[in-house]
Amino acid sequence: MFSSRFTFARIKYRSGNWDTDQRMPANLLNSLVEYTTIPIDQEEKIVDLAGSELFLYPFTYLSGHKLVQFNQQERTNFKKYVENGGFVFVDDCNHDIDGLFAKSFEAQMSSLFGPAALKKIPNSHEIYRSFFKFEKGPPTTSFELNGWGDDLVHDYLKAIEINGRIGVLYSNKDYGCEWDYDFRNKRFYAEDNTKFGVNIIMYAMGV
């Protein structure tokens, strides 16, 4: 049963590297406090994809830049979680559509939900206006043209929808690194770049 208090729950999985962008959750939690009135837990929660605790949280985050290869219990839990109303925000730290994380994660999604399940979402999607408005779709990150990854600006996000709602939101834009800084440094930015993170969370929570 989902709690009404928002918890930033990070998915731990056996393969690859799941523990990335360690300052990012606190930064987004600060943004929720700054812009919204939803109650929050102040600490990030680590949940094992193979464990039952996963099902306590309506929002989860999964990231990495290495191989994603779920074991059987992880596969079962991921599919059950998404099909029962859970939301997974997946961010590729490689920001590379031909990288190891992208290819292996997308293969996992194809195996679990079918080869056509993960689709580009239009820039008119509700997630781009769930709190702040992003008329041009997903905001660009500074990491997309830094010489790493595929050196492309991805003008779209992908998603798997279940009953008309996003269950898996998938980004090659490396938002995790973009938001991986102490929240007190936001004052140095002309525009707060975590605002889209607020949109993602508000959409996931159905607020």
- Check if the beta carbon of residue 50 is closer than 8 Å to that of residue 86: no
- pLDDT band for position 14 (cuts 50, 70, 90): very high
Q: What is the rounded distance in angstroms from the CA atom of residue 71 to the CA atom of residue 69?
A: 7
Sequence ranges of the domains in the chain: 9-205
**pLDDT tens for each residue of 39-56:** 999 999 999 999 999 999
- pLDDT band for position 1 (cuts 50, 70, 90): very low
- 154 pLDDT higher than 60: yes
- 89 pLDDT higher than 80: yes
Residue 72's H or E segment, with its range, is: helix 72-83
- Check if the beta carbon of residue 193 is closer than 8 Å to that of residue 140: no
Nearest to 35 by CA among 206, 198, 201, 207: 198
Fold of domain 9-205: Rossmann fold (3.40.50)
- 2 pLDDT higher than 70: no
Q: What is the rounded distance in angstroms from the CA atom of residue 8 to the CA atom of residue 57?
A: 8
Q: What is the mean pLDDT of residues 9-38?
A: 95
Question: What pLDDT is attached to residue 39?
Answer: 95
Question: What pLDDT is attached to residue 189?
Answer: 82
- pLDDT band for position 3 (cuts 50, 70, 90): low
Residue 61 DSSP SS3 = strand
Global pTM value: 0.95
Kindly write down the DSSP assignment for every residue of 131-181, as one continuous string: SS--TTSSPP-TTTTSSSTT-------EEEEETTEEEEEEESS-HHHHT-S
**pLDDT tens for each residue of 93-127:** 989 999 999 999 999 999 999 999 999 999 999 99
Question: What pLDDT is attached to residue 165?
Answer: 97
What's the gap between Cα 6 and its chain centre? 15
